[in-house]
Structure 1
């Protein structure tokens, strides 16, 4: 197993508790990649934009652990340190991981001074997403995000060498860096073309159920969304106690089935400082949240940082245009709280549902809240259906509730459903 030292620069506005929580998340992410954290180094800094991220003294202290020189090379060879010569055998399986997104220059300087590979928080999250992606669409979206992150950093890959023939003005030829960037851009273009086709197909499927009630589970990663998905739909979705256990969107019907039908989508979890490129590229899973009738905002109420996690989720929802969608706050894992804490939360969030995804009674209470929400969108209408047109109603029974039937020259049926579904029935009956 690889070993890592995690580092963080603590700005004046950040508390020690906030830094500790962020580092704890980073450690969990690394553990999901089979990387064991053996030490952490935190330094209070007025800014995070220092060329070496950490101060000179702290950098030398860190280099004593990694076997590096603690100095950034100067002069003509500064951009090409011989890291293999610097790196002792004991550090061959050691990484340094920064709890921030580092600039290309910061990455280069840290690697030169420490003599080991350096990753930042964004690179770690991208690796976790890559390791968990299962669908073709998810893989392409993550690849796009990774390439967008890597292109500005290609200039710092010293293994590429200086030149490679081919093209360029006055037979100068392109550098390996220029060619590597072009290959990356070409791959991004190809991935975007394939994604557009996949998205077009997905859009057709979504349009076919545009008038179907949809619920989307959203929230911080590891808050319990998949467990609630099991409660609501009975589906055997993956449930694991780790960050980003599931990445793809799972859509299942509410069980027992409702009339009209209600589809429930389990979306990717959010996290503090989720890379913008991932938010931008994860179109398919986030579109379920954007197009849902109702959002179930799942929160781990037993986590001391849950209020900050609520803010993170609300910010991402605003970024994707879903801030105005009606939502129900689910304070999950309430079974881990004492009576006093539960009462305090009930007072602080009067509209929320305190629950445990493992308690079937709480699952029933959630189902009642969902049914009540969608009931307000139904209207009642009586239609006359000739006996030889009964098949038209049969086709729409999963979208319409039959309140009453009376038989005469034709069948007089009182129905409850959405205006859209009732409109479809009327159009079919008048269409002959």
Structure 2
């Protein structure tokens, strides 16, 4: 049976592949006590140095976060660059950041990671080259002093505050309910978005292909319009700097009416991936929201495997976002939840209160509308909360 350490190391290899690093060798050590100087034991350290020399490696990646002292000691002993999992993930984000917002967010996360590690860097900073751990802020920014980095962090936070304000203004102008896609990275969220809305969002079989929030409109079978939102995927040991920096983007999840938790049903670590996503949702304070678990990629499963998952997750909706199989079942589930939160009303609204008509059209489904002498008579299916506000116009 494959242990959690082996699984984590294999995921680290996938991260390295995504970052464009050629993996030559993998090495693992189980220790109950972490070596404060080198993280790993001295015997394993010598073995690692031999592997570096033997394979001509110019980079060593550790699966856990290292302290500044450990970085310095390891680089001096191994005579090569050393990065940890956090730096690797930050680098992948830097590579995949295309919009101004995502570039700001990634740079902030990188500088926040770098700031406490400046002590004693001196000479090491001056010899940093390109590659993992140096993308994003760039070489010149890595050589500036602590005060300038702190000023840059402050400026980035102010710019992201403005981004957040603009997003809030945009959200206020939206009247349609929002359904947010969440899930472990590479679970197929972007593919599902494309299938549901006929969008052309980038789809790639790699980790963190999507960083920026993507919004697409979708008309449900009963006529109601909703907005589908896709955003960054989660991963085990997701750097807290990224969660903090991407708050503006992750607001889309906080504001959503329904969460679609997309799971790769063919993933051997499915249960652990679900736990990781649930942990991040709790951290964001949105775990209580209405959720639909979507078991994606069922086209990769045997019939028996699908039956087993159906027993284990009876409320989940199995689909294949790639082929479109069972997408109608998912649409039906979304409709069911939406209709449960809506009610049909007959209203008589005076002309001087006609502003409500626009709200009803945006938030509900108008079934009948008639203009008479002094008012507008309307029959519509609208959110229950809105129906309560319009009770005095009941006809």
TM-score range, shorter chain: 0.7 to 0.9
Deviation at 1:258, TM superposition (A): 6.3
**TM-score, L = length of structure 2:** 0.88
Residue in structure 2 matching 1:197, options 149, 152, 162: 162
Deviation at 1:48, TM superposition (A): 3.0
1:421-432 equivalent positions in 2, closer than 5 A? 421=386
User: For the structure 1 residues 32 and 156, does the alpha-carbon distance in structure 2 shift closer, same or farther, using more than 3 Å as the test?
Assistant: farther
CA contact (8 A) 2:177 2:363 kept: no
Is 1:65 matched up with 2:51? yes
Unaligned runs of 5+ in 1: 1-14, 69-89, 163-176
Is 1:326 matched up with 2:318? no
SS of equivalent residue, structure 1 residue 298: strand
Is 1:349 matched up with 2:313? yes
Residue in structure 2 matching 1:310, options 274, 279, 284: 274
Give, in whole Å, the separation in 1 of the partners of 2:34 and 2:14: 23
Q: Which residue of 2 aligns with 1:182?
A: 147
**TM-score, L = length of structure 1:** 0.80
User: For the structure 1 residues 287 and 389, does the alpha-carbon distance in structure 2 shift closer, same or farther, using more than 3 Å as the test?
Assistant: closer
Is 1:34 matched up with 2:20? yes
Q: CA RMSD in A?
A: 2.8
User: For the structure 1 residues 60 and 395, does the alpha-carbon distance in structure 2 shift closer, same or farther, using more than 3 Å as the test?
Assistant: closer
Q: Which residue of 1 aligns with 2:365?
A: 401
User: For the structure 1 residues 259 and 115, does the alpha-carbon distance in structure 2 shift closer, same or farther, using more than 3 Å as the test?
Assistant: same
Residue in structure 1 matching 2:345, options 381, 396, 402: 381
Q: Which residue of 1 aligns with 2:210?
A: 246
Give, in whole Å, the separation in 2 of the partners of 1:411 and 1:117: 72
Is 1:19 matched up with 2:18? no
Q: Which residue of 2 aligns with 1:124?
A: 88
CA contact (8 A) 1:215 1:264 kept: yes
Give, in whole Å, the separation in 2 of the partners of 1:41 and 1:262: 49
CA contact (8 A) 1:396 1:425 kept: no
- Kindly report structure 1 stretches of 4+ aligned residues shifted beyond 6 Å: 386-392, 423-427
Give, in whole Å, the separation in 2 of the partners of 1:426 and 1:234: 38
CA contact (8 A) 1:290 1:320 kept: yes
Residue in structure 1 matching 2:194, options 230, 235, 240: 230
Radius of gyration: which is bigger? Answer: 1
CA contact (8 A) 1:233 1:256 kept: no
User: For the structure 1 residues 394 and 38, does the alpha-carbon distance in structure 2 shift closer, same or farther, using more than 3 Å as the test?
Assistant: same
SS of equivalent residue, structure 1 residue 38: coil
User: For the structure 1 residues 238 and 161, does the alpha-carbon distance in structure 2 shift closer, same or farther, using more than 3 Å as the test?
Assistant: closer
SS of equivalent residue, structure 2 residue 168: helix
Give, in whole Å, the separation in 2 of the partners of 1:374 and 1:47: 52
Alpha-carbon displacement from aligned partner over 1:219-242 (angstroms, at most 9, x marks no partner): 000000011111111111111100
Residue in structure 2 matching 1:133, options 86, 97, 104: 97
Alpha-carbon displacement from aligned partner over 1:226-281 (angstroms, at most 9, x marks no partner): 11111111111111100000101001111468644211100110001000111111
SS of equivalent residue, structure 2 residue 155: helix
Q: Which residue of 2 aligns with 1:277?
A: 241
Alpha-carbon displacement from aligned partner over 1:96-139 (angstroms, at most 9, x marks no partner): 00011111111111101100000000000000001101222211
User: For the structure 1 residues 379 and 185, does the alpha-carbon distance in structure 2 shift closer, same or farther, using more than 3 Å as the test?
Assistant: same
Alpha-carbon displacement from aligned partner over 1:136-182 (angstroms, at most 9, x marks no partner): 221111111111111121124242799xxxxxxxxxxxxxx997111
User: For the structure 1 residues 200 and 338, does the alpha-carbon distance in structure 2 shift closer, same or farther, using more than 3 Å as the test?
Assistant: same
Q: How many residues align?
A: 377
SS of equivalent residue, structure 1 residue 118: strand
SS of equivalent residue, structure 1 residue 270: coil
Give, in whole Å, the separation in 1 of the partners of 2:124 and 2:12: 30
Give, in whole Å, the separation in 1 of the partners of 2:341 and 2:315: 20
Unaligned runs of 5+ in 2: 127-141
